[in-house]
Structure 1
Amino acid sequence: MKRLLFLTIYAAILLLSCRKLDQPITRDFTETAYWRDAQDALDALSACYEHLYKDDYFFGNEGLSDNAYVNGNGYQNVTAIANGGYDPSNARVTDTWGFYYTTIRRCNIVTENIDKVPALDSTLKRRIVAEARFIRAFAYFELLTWYGDVPFFTNEISIDESRTIGRTAKGEVLQFVQSELTAIRPHLPVNSYSGGGGYEEKDRGRVTRGAAIALSARVHLYNGEWQQAASDCELLINSTENGTYGLLSDYRSIFTVANEYNREVILDLQYGGGRTYDRQRSFMPQTVTQLRSVLVPTQDLVDDYVMLNGKAVSEPGSGYNENDPYTNRDPRFEATILHHGSTVTDLNGNEQTILTQPGSNPPTNSVDDQGASPTGYYFYKYYDRAATNYQSGLNLVLIRYADVLLMYAEAKNELGQLDAAVWNQTIRALRVRAGFTDAAATEFNAGLSQAQLRTIVRRERRAELAFEGLRIFDIRRWEIADEVMNRPVRGIKVTSGAFNRDPNGYIIVENRGFTAPRHYLWPVPTFERDQNKNLSQNQGW
C-alpha cells in the first residue's frame, strides 16, 4: 500500500478539475490554505473521480477472458494471467491493488476533511460526500472481486498502521459496500436531461442515484443475491423516480463521441480535453491506426453470436454455413468485430476493406503479417473516428441501461421467474434494438427450461456487452472460468500456411490454463506482503 500512503491530496488535486472532469486544475494550493471553500472540496472530489477506473483495465480486462487475446505483454501482462503463468509479482496484479487503495485514500481524505470548509452548503456537502462514498465503494468492490479478503478502513491511516493492518473477510467488506450504496441514494441527484436528450452539463460524468442503484444491482448479482439484484433493477426499469434511462435506438451509436451522455449511459469514465487514450491503436487493423494489432477477438467469441433466427451456430436449423460464416448473424457482431471482408472508414476518411485470410492482397492485415491480428479478427466497437493523432477522448461506459436489463433477466431466471413479460422487457427489447426481426429470435418460448433460458441469457449478455470489460467477471462468478479458460485461443479457419491448427482447421494461437480454485482469486502482490507481514495470502499462492 506504499502508493496509497505516500500520496497526498495536495498532489492529487492537480490531476483534474471538478467543473470539467477532463481538464487539469490550474489553482495553486498549500496545506494550510486548503479546504477554504466549496471549490476546494469539489477539486478534492475530482481527484477521486480521476482514480475511478483506467482505460488500461477497461480494455485489458477483455484479454483476461475468453473474449480476447493480447499478443505480447501489453496491458500490464494480462496474457500471463490468462494463460495461468503468473505469480504475485505480475504487473496487473500489483497495479490493481495499488491503484484502488490510492482511490480509497483520496475518498477518505474527502470524507474526513470536508467539515473544515466554512459555510459549505449542506445539500452540496451531502452530495460531495455521497459521491466520494460511491467511488470508495466501487474501489472496494473491485478489490473484493479480484482478491477476496482485503485490508479495510474508512479513515486516513498512517504509514505505521499500513505496515500492520491485516485483511478483513470479504463478506464483511461486501456488507459495507452494499450498505454504502443504499445509504447514499437520497443524497445523489436524479439524472436530468436537456431538450436534446443528453445529460445536462452539470451532471455529466458525475455519480447519480441511478448509478448507485445500478452498481448495487451488480454487487448483488455477482454475489448471487438474486432477489436483491432484481429489486434494484426494478427501481430503474419502467420508472423515472430514480432516473430517466432507456435504450438508444441504434446499437452502433452508443459508442461514439456524438452520442456521449445519452439516456443509456448510467456511469462512464470521462475523457476529452487534456485527458485522452490511444488504446484503439492496439485493437484496430494496423492499416487504420498505423500500429501493431495486439488486443484481438477470439474465435470463441465470434462463435457465440447467434444467427438471425436466434439459434446458436451449432444448433440444428440455425442455417449457419461454415463457408459463409458471417452472414445472417446477430447484427451486434458486425458492430463489434471486423473480419475478413469487413469495410471500415479510416481516420483519413478512406474506406478500407479488411482482408485477414492468409495470402490476401494486400497482406498487411492478414494473419500472415507479424503486426496483424493473430486470430484474423479485430475489435471495432470503441473505434473513435473523431480521434486526433490517434488520441481518443471518447468516454468509456462502465454501466449502461442494457446491463441493467440483462442483470434483471438473469436474476429473474435464477428465481424461476423469467416469463414472457420479463423477456419482453429485457431480451426482446435488446434484440429488437439490435435489429432482429425473426419471431423465433424475439418472441418468448414458454417451452424452454430454466437451464435453457440461462444459456440464452448468458449468451445474450456476452453479445451485448462484448469489449466492455465485463466478461471476465461473468465467467468467474458463474464459475466456468476453469472450463472456458482451459482452452486454446483460436483464430480463423485456414486451409493453407504454416499455422498451428486444430482438427477443424482453426488457427491455434496459444494454449491457456486455469486452475480452480487457485486462479479464481488473484494473489496478494509480493510487494505489499514485503511491506506488511500481516497480509495473508490466498489459497494456492
Structure 2
Amino acid sequence: MRKTLFRTVACLIGLLSATSCKNYLDKQPDDMLTIDKVFAVRTQTQAYLSSVYSFIPDVLSMQNNYNMLGICDEGDFIWAASWAGQINNGNWNPTSGYYDKWAAFYKGIRSASIFINRVDECQDPTLEPQVRASWKQEARALRAMYYFFLLRQYGPLVILPEETIDVNAPNEDLQLARKPFDECLDYIVGEFDAVIASPDLPDRFVNANDKGRIDKNTVMGFKSRALLMAASPLWNGNTDYGNFRNPDGTALVNPTYDAGKWDKAAQAAKALIDKYPSGLYKKTPDGQSQFDPYTSYRDVFLDRWNQEVIYARPQMASSAADVGWERHCAPRFVNGWNGVGISQQMVDAYFMSNGKKINEAGSQYVETGFSAATGKYTKANTANMYVNREPRFYASVIYNGADWIYKEDGKPNRTVELFFTGNCGKQGSHDHSATGYLCSKNISPNSNLQEWTGALRSLVLIRLAEIYLNYAEALNEARDDQASRAEAAIYIDKIRERAGIPALESDKKASQAAMRTAIRDERRVELAFEGFRAWDTRRWKIAEQVDGAPLMGMNVNAGKSLTDTEFYKRTVVEQRAFPRNYYLWPIPQYDIVRNKACIQNPGW
C-alpha cells in the first residue's frame, strides 16, 4: 500500500531546514547543496511535499499559536502570557510578533516553488507519472493558499518570482515592492483556477490514505474565501486606504466600490455547493427516524470525513496536551485549564429555540430568575437566560450549572460551577474563566484529559455550511432584489433546519439590509469558535465597534452557589482597544529594514 503523504518521516526536520529560513528572502547555499539528493528518491521527494503542507495553520492551536478567539468579541483567554491580552490593551507594534505569520507563510511559498520547479527531476521508478503530476498541483495550490493567508492578514503583498531566487543574487535584487491588492488577488485566484482546470488533480480524494491532501474541492473552497474577502467592505470601496501607496506612488488599494466582486464570490461558492448535493451532515440516533440537531451539529467536527467536510487536517494537532484546544477549554475537575471564556456578547448572539434573537418580540427570553422544571437540554434551577436556547448553544457553551460533556460509565454527570467559590470558579485557581462561561464546541466526549490525550479526529477547516453562508452573503450583496434574497434564504434556512430552529421570517428577507443582518447573525453562530470571527469583523469593517467594545461576562468575583444572583450580573471583563491600524497586521520591522522597497502598513 502506498504510504500516506502525512506519515511522519525521519528526514522531515532536515528537509524543513532547507526551506525554513529566518526570512523569506534569506539565502542558503549550504542547504541548497543537498537539494539534488532530495529530488532523487521518491520517499524524500514525498517528505519534502509533506514539509510544504506543514505550514497550514491549526486555527485551534493555543498558547500563542493561531487561535484568535481572544482578540475578537467571541471571548477571552485568561492567561497573562497571552498575546491576545496585549493586543486588546493596545500594546502592539511591528516588533511584537503577535500571531505573526509573515515569515512562516513565505517559507511555505518558497518551499512550494522549489518543489514545483524540482519535482520533475525525480525519476525514481516507483514514482508514477500521474502521482508526480498530482503532487505538483497540490504544491501549486498550497502556494496560492499561503498567499491568501498573507493577503487576509497583511493586505497587499510581495509576490515572489515563481522561479526561486538564486542563492547568490546580490542584495539589491532582493528589494521587492508590494503589489496592489487587486493584483495579488488576481494572481491567487488565477493559480486556484489553473489547479481546478488541471486534469492532474482529482475533484476529491476518496482513498483513506489520501485524506487531508489538497484536491480540487479544497481549492474551490479557498477560492470562495478569497473572493468573498475581496468583495467585502475592507477591500471593496474602502477610502481609508486611498493614500496607501508604494514609494513610487503606486496605489496599493482601489477605493472604488465594485458590486461585480460580490457576483464573482457568489458564483465561486455556488459552483462548490453544486458538487455537494447530499447537503449538510445530519445524524439520526439509533432507533429514531428524525435527525437530532444537537448531535448533528456537535459531531460534524467529531465524525471524521463526514459528508459535510470539504477539507480537514487528518489529525487535530490542537487536541494535544501542550497547545490543545480541549485542554485549555475543559474544566479543572477533568484536568483541564479552564480558561477560554466565552463572552456575554457571544452568549447573547445565540438564538432562542423558536429561532428568534433574545431581544426580538416573542422570543420568550427571560433575563432573571431560575427554571422551575427540567427542559430538553437544561435542569431545574438553571438560570432562565440559558433556558429554551437553540441546540447549537448547548453544543457549544458551558454556562454556570451545565453538565460537562464527558460521560464516565457508572458515574454521575459533573456539574460545572463557575461562580466565585465553585469547582471551576475564580477562587480556586488562576486558571478560571474571566467571563463565567467555558466552551465545549469541537471537544470530543471521548477525550481523556486525565491522561493528557485527545480522541483521534481530524481538524475540519472547510465545511459545506461555510460555503452556504458565503453564497448567501455574496448573493445578497451582489443584487438588491427579492429573488436574490429568496435564493440566499434557501441556504440560510438549510443551516437553521439542521440547527433545529425555524426558517427565517419574512421581515428578515424584506430588504437587503435586513437580510445582511440575518446572514451575519447566522454566520456568527454557525461558525462560532472555528477561527472566522476575527477575520469577519475585519473584512466587514465593524471591528472598531464590536472588537473594540468592552468585553462582557458574568460576575465571576461573586457567587457562593449555583443560584446566587450576585453571579448573574452582566459585568465588564475587559476594556478593549481597536484602533484603525488593527485591521491589518504590521509587517515585522525586521523585514521592513531588510527590504526597503516594502512599505509598512498604514498606522504602524
Q: Does 1:97 align with 2:102?
A: yes
Q: Does 1:181 align with 2:246?
A: no
What is the CA–CA distance in structure 2 between the aligned matches of 1:167 and 1:116, rounded to whole Å? 32
Structure 2 partner of 1:283: 329
Structure 2 partner of 1:482: 544
After TM superposition, give the deviation of residue 35 of structure 1 in Å: 1.4
Structure 1 partner of 2:255: none
Q: Does 1:126 align with 2:133?
A: yes
Structure 1 partner of 2:8: 23
Structure 1 partner of 2:280: 247
Q: Does 1:371 align with 2:431?
A: yes
Secondary structure at the counterpart of residue 178 of structure 2: coil
Amino acid at match of 1:418: S
What is the CA–CA distance in structure 1 between the aligned matches of 2:96 and 2:278, rounded to whole Å? 39
Q: Which of 423, 431, 438 is matched with 2:489 structurally? A: 423
Please, which runs of 5 or more residues in structure 1 have no aligned partner? 1-16, 193-198
Distance 1:420 1:32, change over 3 A: closer
What is the CA–CA distance in structure 1 between the aligned matches of 2:461 and 2:388, rounded to whole Å? 30
Amino acid at match of 1:263: Q
Greater shift, 66-75 or 507-516, is seen at 66-75
Q: Does 1:146 align with 2:153?
A: yes
After TM superposition, give the deviation of residue 446 of structure 1 in Å: 7.4
Secondary structure at the counterpart of residue 110 of structure 2: helix
What is the CA–CA distance in structure 1 between the aligned matches of 2:587 and 2:4, rounded to whole Å? 37
Secondary structure at the counterpart of residue 280 of structure 2: coil
What is the CA–CA distance in structure 2 between the aligned matches of 1:385 and 1:26, rounded to whole Å? 35
Query: Which digits, 9 at most, give the CA deviation of each residue in 1:148-170, with x for residues without a partner?
Result: 12222133235655853332332
Query: Which digits, 9 at most, give the CA deviation of each residue in 1:133-182, with x for residues without a partner?
Result: 11111111111111112222133235655853332332222111010111
- Kept after mapping to 2: 8 A contact 1:18/1:43: no
Q: Does 1:65 align with 2:65?
A: no
After TM superposition, give the deviation of residue 421 of structure 1 in Å: 4.1
Q: Which of 322, 335, 342 is matched with 2:367 structurally? A: 322
Amino acid at match of 1:24: V
Structure 2 partner of 1:169: 180
What is the CA–CA distance in structure 2 between the aligned matches of 1:64 and 1:274, rounded to whole Å? 19
Secondary structure at the counterpart of residue 398 of structure 1: strand
- Kept after mapping to 2: 8 A contact 1:45/1:132: yes
After TM superposition, give the deviation of residue 74 of structure 1 in Å: 4.8
Structure 2 partner of 1:78: 84
What is the CA–CA distance in structure 1 between the aligned matches of 2:224 and 2:505, rounded to whole Å? 26
Q: Does 1:53 align with 2:43?
A: no
TM-score, normalised with respect to structure 1: 0.85
What is the CA–CA distance in structure 2 between the aligned matches of 1:371 and 1:101, rounded to whole Å? 36
Query: Which digits, 9 at most, give the CA deviation of each residue in 1:71-97, with x for residues without a partner?
Result: 23555x122223332111223243x11
1:5-20 matched pairs, under 5 angstroms: 19-20=4-5
Q: Which of 326, 337, 358 is matched with 1:313 structurally? A: 358
Structure 2 partner of 1:196: none
Structure 2 partner of 1:137: 144
Secondary structure at the counterpart of residue 98 of structure 1: helix
Distance 1:170 1:272, change over 3 A: closer
The percent identity for this pair of structures is 30
After TM superposition, give the deviation of residue 267 of structure 1 in Å: 1.3
Q: Which of 571, 582, 586 is matched with 1:523 structurally? A: 586
Structure 2 partner of 1:157: 165
Structure 1 partner of 2:374: none
After TM superposition, give the deviation of residue 443 of structure 1 in Å: 5.5
Distance 1:497 1:342, change over 3 A: closer
After TM superposition, give the deviation of residue 245 of structure 1 in Å: 5.9
Structure 2 partner of 1:460: 522
Distance 1:245 1:289, change over 3 A: farther
Secondary structure at the counterpart of residue 255 of structure 1: coil
Secondary structure at the counterpart of residue 552 of structure 2: strand
Greater shift, 457-466 or 25-34, is seen at 25-34
Distance 1:32 1:213, change over 3 A: closer
Greater shift, 226-235 or 32-41, is seen at 32-41
Secondary structure at the counterpart of residue 405 of structure 1: helix
Q: Does 1:213 align with 2:220?
A: yes
Amino acid at match of 1:47: S
Secondary structure at the counterpart of residue 418 of structure 1: helix
Amino acid at match of 1:454: R
- Kept after mapping to 1: 8 A contact 2:318/2:326: no
What is the CA–CA distance in structure 1 between the aligned matches of 2:316 and 2:464, rounded to whole Å? 23
What is the CA–CA distance in structure 2 between the aligned matches of 1:540 and 1:446, rounded to whole Å? 38
Structure 1 partner of 2:40: 36
Structure 1 partner of 2:461: 398
Amino acid at match of 1:435: G
Q: Does 1:269 align with 2:275?
A: no
Which structure has the larger Rg? 2
- Kept after mapping to 2: 8 A contact 1:134/1:180: yes
Q: Which of 331, 347, 361 is matched with 1:302 structurally? A: 347
Amino acid at match of 2:596: K
Greater shift, 203-212 or 146-155, is seen at 146-155
Amino acid at match of 1:308: S
What is the CA–CA distance in structure 2 between the aligned matches of 1:511 and 1:384, rounded to whole Å? 33
After TM superposition, give the deviation of residue 372 of structure 1 in Å: 1.3
Distance 1:69 1:163, change over 3 A: farther
Q: Which of 516, 532, 538 is matched with 1:470 structurally? A: 532
Greater shift, 270-279 or 296-305, is seen at 270-279
After TM superposition, give the deviation of residue 414 of structure 1 in Å: 0.9
What is the CA–CA distance in structure 2 between the aligned matches of 1:164 and 1:444, rounded to whole Å? 56
Structure 2 partner of 1:3: none
TM-score, normalised with respect to structure 2: 0.76
Query: Which digits, 9 at most, give the CA deviation of each residue in 1:237-281, with x for residues without a partner?
Result: 2x34xx66631101111121xx11111111122326999452322
RMSD: 2.9
After TM superposition, give the deviation of residue 109 of structure 1 in Å: 1.3
Distance 1:384 1:26, change over 3 A: farther
- Kept after mapping to 2: 8 A contact 1:428/1:443: no
Query: Which digits, 9 at most, give the CA deviation of each residue in 1:284-335, with x for residues without a partner?
Result: 22222343x3322111111111112222111222111002111121211111
What is the CA–CA distance in structure 2 between the aligned matches of 1:463 and 1:483, rounded to whole Å? 19
Count of aligned pairs: 499
- Kept after mapping to 2: 8 A contact 1:337/1:381: yes
What is the CA–CA distance in structure 2 between the aligned matches of 1:245 and 1:507, rounded to whole Å? 44
- Kept after mapping to 2: 8 A contact 1:285/1:373: no
Structure 1 partner of 2:400: 340
What is the CA–CA distance in structure 2 between the aligned matches of 1:74 and 1:386, rounded to whole Å? 30
- Kept after mapping to 2: 8 A contact 1:22/1:275: no
- Kept after mapping to 2: 8 A contact 1:230/1:407: yes
What is the CA–CA distance in structure 2 between the aligned matches of 1:156 and 1:262, rounded to whole Å? 39
After TM superposition, give the deviation of residue 445 of structure 1 in Å: 5.0
After TM superposition, give the deviation of residue 226 of structure 1 in Å: 1.3
Q: Does 1:230 align with 2:266?
A: yes
Distance 1:338 1:274, change over 3 A: closer
- Kept after mapping to 2: 8 A contact 1:304/1:463: yes
- Kept after mapping to 2: 8 A contact 1:18/1:42: no
Amino acid at match of 1:90: S
Secondary structure at the counterpart of residue 475 of structure 1: helix
